[in-house]
Structure 1
Amino acid sequence: MQTHAGAIPISVISALLTAFISYIVYQCLLSPLASFPGPFLAKVNKLWRAYATYRGRWHSDIVALHRRYGPVVRIGPNELSIADPEAFLQIYRLTWVLGAALGTSRPFAKSASYSVVQGSRPFDLAGERNEKVHAAQRRLVARPYSMESTLRLEPQVDELIRILLGKLDAVATPPTSQVIDLGHWLQLFAFDAIGIVSFTKPYGFLASGSDDGMFPRLEQTMHSASWLMHAGWFFRLHQKVMPWLGNWLAVNDRNGYFFQFAQREVQARKDHGGSDLDIVGQLFQAQQAKAELNDLTISYMMTSNVFAGSDTTSIALRAIFLNLIRHPHVMEKLRSELKNNLNSSPEKIVNAAEADSCPYLQAIIYEGLRVFSPAGFMLDRDVPAEGMMIGGRRVPGGSVVGTSPWVIHHSVEVWGEDAEEFRPERWIETENPGHLRRFFFAFGGGTRTCIGRNISWLEIEKLVSTLVMRYDFKLAPDAVISEYCGALVFLKDLRVQVSRRDI
């Protein structure tokens, strides 16, 4: 058949159409993952997931998808979202126990999506995909993050709490009681706390009441990383042309702006000294026996503290206080426990040992982080070459599987019919609290559990108990609480009226 000059031959069009239809048929009917349900576009194009993440509602969208399709949802040509409890434990926590029966004896490695997070960093606990390399890196820096080391930093955290109390007292004492964005002040506290535990000194955000533009920059970087993790080809292309076209992706701030910020803080800490108890001080001491722990490696580690340490804790604090305000009977029950167990007064800063002795306080923290986990993204893992079984169906090696904390934390199969309800009593009433904690995923799980968990928990338990005893909180009439998912789930507009309880 003849064609006009410049026109595409019919045979080429036919071949392309045939290839396209064949690809669709393969993905929907013949692929090893074809039996798993999910949105049509997700089955045939990975860009579906990138766009779904970019929209900023992924934490709730993925929960809705599981309600529609069941415990396993296909969210990419080669990717599955998992809500099945047994599969969840296999992927993240119990591979070394179940290995003999399930044909695998090693943890599932992080998927290729984490390469976007790591970039060119040689040391990165969050992005490192190789399990052996990650284990070696974690051992190198783990000691300062232990509970023993964390408790030594408690006096420094107390100093910061006193600054926050002074700021809140100024707006909480009649007749000057006024509405404030409590979330903003909690984030200022959490960011300064990272400065204290890492470098001995706060950044001064809490004292000034301003973040100097840091918080929006953190949020933009998080959001950029969240969708680019699923458009890796675009990220790699951008990195190649960046020397000529400039940087257009906020994700590069993680290994650029925030690394430079941390590097300056490390150098300042070295030049001017500080407490040997802070994280950098302990790492400097460890340098004497560990040559590979050089200043650059320490700066990479502190970048993770700066980049992720404050937002995760501040979101957790916001979620806990929002739920306490919305459930006044829980608030009063907590106050009663603190008063009876600790003889606590509004003037007292509760210490960690006292907080640990209050089971209802601990239950509130667990429950607050269950119903509103700071992490909203899926923790993707590669299925080992041997493959795995999920619900009686085989998933071949090389597939990507993962679970979002929001999915497993809202699973009716794990938590019961009231899984959506904020009910701290579930952690006390259960006959097997260890079973519930196996499914507590706010800090990740297994070998990849967040290294800063102890620091975050210390800040949360001390601040929640201290503020609850000192102040009454009431949600402002004009508060419009909103959520936005950009890797982390940012809780916005926690506007409350604060008043002193002893006045």
Structure 2
Amino acid sequence: MSYLNFILAALVGLPAVVVFIHLAIYLVDPYGIRKYPGPWLAKFSDAWLGYISQQGHRSEVIHEMHLKYGPFMRISPSEVSVADPDSLAIVYAHGNGSLKSTFYDAFVSIERGLFNTRDRKQHARKRKIVSHIFSQKSVIEFEPHIRLYVSMLLGQWDRLYAGAVKGGRGDDGDGGWVGRAGRLWLDCLPWTNYLAFDIIGDLAFGAPFGMIEAGRDRAPVPITDPSSPSSLSSKDEIKYIPAVAVLNGRGEYSMSMGVLPAFIRPIMKRFFPWYARGLQDVQYLAGIAIVAVSKRLGQPTDRVDLLSKLQAGKDDSGNPMGRPELTAEALTLLIAGSDTTSNSTCAIIYHLAKNPEKQAKLHKELDEQLGLEDELVANAEQVKRLPYLDACINEALRIHSTSALGLPRVVPEGGLTISEHAFPAGTVLSVPSYTIHRDPEVWGADVEAFRPERWFEEERKDAMAKTFNPFSVGPRACVGRNLASLELQIIVASILRRYHFVLENPDENLETREGFLRKPLRCDVGIQRRNQEVLF
């Protein structure tokens, strides 16, 4: 057979082989999940899940499919999405032996960190080093850093507001803004990004990125190899990139790549431009951490922050983290501590602006509890006594679940049973937060309504507590939830105490796009100072 004939035969035969393999898996049904309904293509191939993941609305699509097919739905040849609140405590439980799936391999850049480590022993080792730095006691030590950058944001918005009331207009250097009808109109999403990045930059790397001060999205990366911890050697090798945009691209790439079989991932990266651009975002994001860690370690300091606590941590053998591992964990802190906080803050502002009666109720609580106190930025002690604030935050996290998709877990030896549905070892299960946060049996018939009062209804408290999943549950839950909660409380209390927000068109929904996290695309709001006599 000539070389040309061989190529032609391969081109004709390869699709047939691929089809045969997928059909064989469906017929053999190694996980016993053929009985579960779902999209037709998903029964045979990962292509369906890969396609909807790349489109940026995976959680909404999965939710619509659950409304059609019921709480147990097949979304790939090996994965079942389980929209049953009781499944949270089973799939993600302590000690059940479930492991993270190969989905998480697509999130590795420098080396495996706490988030994407799949090995149980390695995860236990890393969690022992990392988890103590997020204890409630440690988190309180970070409060001054949080409050500093919130005060900087208020200062910037006060400056823009002063220009707005005079009918001014700003350029892109300030995120773009305009004064109209005695209000400052701007897209608050970039500013919540700047705030979150500067806070986590200070806490994780010892210095902010300077985004609030500059009113711009920028962070330094190495010019040479942005993903190698050893590549940074001089200041001449630095360039600046839009960190928020890179983080978004990385999230979309990794989530879309993670649902594909391991053997096809190199092909997608090599021959499909969308995936190639995403891989560059992964490398750039790693570069941001490399530059920040190198700068910090090159300037020894006695300040107490997340990086210093990571450096001091040791495993059971008394060994500290090496440089690549330390950088990888710092990168995890950057990712987990920036986008989640900014997305959530933006969503909270949007829902309060959309629901003026709820905003007025929160204003009343803030005025009664904090109105006579001098500090313009709320502190940790003050936010403890603000129950309606907590209800507003929780309700926004329910409706706008930042981590909305189902996190996949591999069923361990011995299998798992959920509501009389038995799943053998090797099956992949996921519980979509977006969908269980909209279960009318738990939350009531008005699941799409922003109604913080539901969090005070005694008859729902137990079911809501069991179903609410903003930080995941079990041994792989977010270790930084104490810090995230404190940040949101201080940020929202301080901003809402000072400003009143409106939407130009209250009927417009908050547009989003989903990578690994579900992110607003923009959030245009009108801002008015509540207390004209108080000068910042």
Residues 346 and 502, structure 1, Cα contact 8 Å, conserved in 2:
no
Residues 344 and 469, structure 1, Cα contact 8 Å, conserved in 2:
no
- The answer on 1:429 being equivalent to 2:419 is no
Provide, for residues 136-156 of structure 1, a one-character-per-residue CA deviation record: whole Å limited to 9, x for no partner: 101112222222111111112
Please name the residue that 1:109 is paired with. Answer: 99
Please name the residue that 2:423 is paired with. Answer: 395
* Deviation at residue 25 of structure 1 after TM alignment: 6.8
CA 1:263–1:354 in structure 2 vs 1: closer, same or farther (change >3 Å)? Answer: same
Structure 1: distance between partners of 2:141 and 2:334: 20
CA 1:501–1:343 in structure 2 vs 1: closer, same or farther (change >3 Å)? Answer: closer
Match of 2:441, SS state, is helix
Residues 409 and 428, structure 2, Cα contact 8 Å, conserved in 1:
yes
CA 1:18–1:229 in structure 2 vs 1: closer, same or farther (change >3 Å)? Answer: closer
Match of 2:216, SS state, is coil
Please name the residue that 1:103 is paired with. Answer: none
Structure 1: distance between partners of 2:23 and 2:215: 60
* Deviation at residue 238 of structure 1 after TM alignment: 6.0
TM-score by length of structure 2 reads 0.82
Please name the residue that 2:228 is paired with. Answer: none
Paired residue total: 479
Residue 139 (structure 1) aligned to one of 117, 120, 128:
128
* Deviation at residue 408 of structure 1 after TM alignment: 1.6
Please name the residue that 2:498 is paired with. Answer: 470
CA 1:329–1:477 in structure 2 vs 1: closer, same or farther (change >3 Å)? Answer: closer
Amino acid in structure 1 at the alignment position of 2:531: D
- The answer on 1:296 being equivalent to 2:324 is yes
Could you say what the CA RMSD is over the residues aligned between the two structures, in angstroms?
Answer: 3.0
- The answer on 1:91 being equivalent to 2:91 is yes
Structure 2: distance between partners of 1:348 and 1:433: 33
CA 1:474–1:300 in structure 2 vs 1: closer, same or farther (change >3 Å)? Answer: same
* Deviation at residue 75 of structure 1 after TM alignment: 0.5
* Deviation at residue 249 of structure 1 after TM alignment: 4.7
Q: How does 1:134-173 map to 2 (within 5 A)?
A: 134-173=123-162
Please name the residue that 2:263 is paired with. Answer: 233
Q: How does 1:297-376 map to 2 (within 5 A)?
A: 297-343=325-371, 348-376=376-404
Structure 2: distance between partners of 1:259 and 1:196: 17
Residue 126 (structure 1) aligned to one of 115, 129, 138:
115
TM-score by length of structure 1 reads 0.87
Provide, for residues 91-134 of structure 1, a one-character-per-residue CA deviation record: whole Å limited to 9, x for no partner: 113x54xxxxxxxxx2411111111212571x411111122221
Amino acid in structure 2 at the alignment position of 1:165: L
Provide, for residues 2-61 of structure 1, a one-character-per-residue CA deviation record: whole Å limited to 9, x for no partner: xxx9998xxx99x9799589648727x997112111111111111111111111111211
Please name the residue that 2:408 is paired with. Answer: 380
Residue 447 (structure 1) aligned to one of 437, 460, 475:
475
Gaps of 5+ in 2: 168-182, 219-241
Structure 2: distance between partners of 1:167 and 1:343: 22
Structure 2: distance between partners of 1:118 and 1:124: 8
Gaps of 5+ in 1: 97-105
CA 1:344–1:81 in structure 2 vs 1: closer, same or farther (change >3 Å)? Answer: farther
Please name the residue that 1:102 is paired with. Answer: none
Please name the residue that 1:73 is paired with. Answer: 73
Q: How does 1:145-294 map to 2 (within 5 A)?
A: 145-173=134-162, 174-176=165-167, 177-212=183-218, 213-231=242-260, 232-237=262-267, 248-251=276-279, 253-254=281-282, 256-274=283-301, 276-286=303-313, 290-294=318-322
Match of 2:343, SS state, is helix
Residues 339 and 345, structure 1, Cα contact 8 Å, conserved in 2:
no
CA 1:426–1:159 in structure 2 vs 1: closer, same or farther (change >3 Å)? Answer: same
Provide, for residues 349-384 of structure 1, a one-character-per-residue CA deviation record: whole Å limited to 9, x for no partner: 111221122111111111110110111332000011
Q: Name the stretch that deviates more: 48-57 or 418-427.
A: 418-427
Structure 1: distance between partners of 2:324 and 2:194: 27
Please name the residue that 1:100 is paired with. Answer: none
Structure 2: distance between partners of 1:19 and 1:344: 73
Match of 1:447, SS state, is coil
Amino acid in structure 2 at the alignment position of 1:201: A
Structure 2: distance between partners of 1:323 and 1:465: 15
Match of 2:38, SS state, is coil
Residue 520 (structure 2) aligned to one of 468, 486, 491:
491
CA 1:399–1:25 in structure 2 vs 1: closer, same or farther (change >3 Å)? Answer: closer
Structure 1: distance between partners of 2:525 and 2:42: 41
Match of 1:366, SS state, is helix
Residues 443 and 460, structure 2, Cα contact 8 Å, conserved in 1:
no
Structure 1: distance between partners of 2:427 and 2:121: 21
Please name the residue that 1:99 is paired with. Answer: none
Please name the residue that 2:443 is paired with. Answer: 415
CA 1:237–1:19 in structure 2 vs 1: closer, same or farther (change >3 Å)? Answer: closer
* Deviation at residue 388 of structure 1 after TM alignment: 2.0
Match of 1:394, SS state, is strand
Identity among equivalent pairs (%): 28
Structure 1: distance between partners of 2:212 and 2:22: 59
Match of 1:81, SS state, is strand
Residues 401 and 470, structure 2, Cα contact 8 Å, conserved in 1:
yes
Q: Name the stretch that deviates more: 344-353 or 83-92.
A: 344-353
